[in-house]
Amino acid sequence: MIAGTTKLFAIVGDPVAQARSPEVFNALFRRRGVDAAMVPLHVRADDFAPVLSALRSVENFCGLVVTVPHKRAAARAAAQRSERAATAGAANVLRPCAGGWEADLLDGEGFAAGLARNGIDPRGKRCAIVGAGGAGAAIALALCERAAQSVCVSDIEPDRAASLARRLVGHGHPAVAAAPDRTADLVVNATPLGMAEADLLPFDPTSLAPGAIVADVIMQPSLTRLLREAARLGHRTVEGRHMLDGQAEPIWRFFGLPDAATGG
């Protein structure tokens, strides 16, 4: 039950209908007895800054999950940024702090946790990421931190991929390059392509090396056309839902919610 004491959280995106965060976190709130609720906010890019300003004035608003296309804007708007958010130039969670918002980037941690749950270790693997937006930046950083042999990033906007590669190289990750790599051991779709069945494939899975692992960041549908095609060709696949499942607890802690074990 929502009452006058309820703390509010939200996920903001454009679109936002595909988001699983309200489902996941409202179930956690109920199960753990926390007086809180999470709602979806469909906000256009031009309205993101004024919405952030308005939410900062709401005393019982306690945190925001950020999805496409606002992750880079969220990092720029933050008064305080974690090292991850500063390095990648993107953020997917915000919480109120003195002077505005504090930002972190947990997509990469969730993605890595999802790989681990599927028995996949990126150490020593050649990795390719299609899409250099917020999710792609987070995943690239997480793979670098977990000793991937190489991380190649490509994007429909080559300058965006090149900018991300330069930032990561500048922060001590020399194995990053702005280039496609269809010979990679692990290939990740970090674009919005796949939310609709009519979307073009982000890349041609028939061009991949035999035995490559194909991962997607799309939450809904859980089995995108890319993953279905990759599985048909004999590739191992990882669904996008694992990325959120893997970061639910880090997001919970970032928001300062009661410890799951103690309730306090």
pLDDT tens for 73-116 read 999 999 999 999 999 999 999 999 999 999 999 999 999 999 99
- pLDDT band (50, 70, 90) for residue 256: very high
Strand order in the sheet with 213-216: 176-177, 150-154, 126-130, 186-189, 213-216, 236-238
Percent of the chain with pLDDT over 70: 98
Q: Which two tokens mark 106? A: 């947990």
The whole-number average pLDDT for the span 118-127 is 97
Q: DSSP letter at 205?
A: G
Helix (H) or strand (E) run with residue 48 in it:
helix 48-56
- Rounded to an integer, the average pLDDT of 34-45 is 98
pLDDT score, position 259:
79
pTM of the model: 0.90
From CA 109, how far away is CA 101, in angstroms rounded? 21
pLDDT of 260 > 80? The answer is no
β-bridge mates for residue 97, sequence order? 100
Q: Tokens 């993107």 identify what position?
A: 90
- Confidence class for position 263, pLDDT limits 50, 70, 90: very low
> What pLDDT, on a 0 to 100 scale, did the predictor assign at position 262?
43
- Tell me how far apart the alpha carbons of residues 239 and 254 are, in angstroms, rounded to a whole number: 24
Strands 186-189 and 61-66: unpaired
DSSP 8-state secondary structure symbol assigned to residue 122: -
Distance between the two ends of the chain, CA-based, in angstroms?
20
Phi/psi at 208 (5° precision): -80, 155
d(CA 240, CA 250): 17
Work out the percent of the chain whose per-residue pLDDT is above 90. 95
For residues 205-230, average pLDDT: 96
Cβ 167 vs Cβ 143: under 8 Å: no
pLDDT value, residue 217: 96
Per-residue pLDDT for 38 more than 90?
yes
Q: In sequence order, what are the residues at sequence separation of 6 or more whose Cβ sits closer than 8 angstroms to the Cβ of residue 117?
A: 242, 245, 246
CB-based contact 131:189 (threshold 8 Å) = yes
| pLDDT score for 1 | 85
| Beta strand 100-104 pairing with 93-97 | antiparallel
Least trusted range by pLDDT, from 75-79, 141-145, 208-212, 259-263: 259-263
Domains of the chain, first to last: 7-106+247-254 (3.40.50.10860), 108-243 (3.40.50.720)
DSSP 52-105: HHHHHT-TTEEEEEE-TT-HHHHHHH-SEE-HHHHHHT--SEEEEETTEEEEE-
Cross-strand partners of 210: none
Tens-place pLDDT, residues 150-168: 999 999 999 999 999 999 9
Cβ contact 180:154 at 8 Å? yes
Mean pLDDT, the chain, integer: 95
- Which residues are identified as catalytic? 71
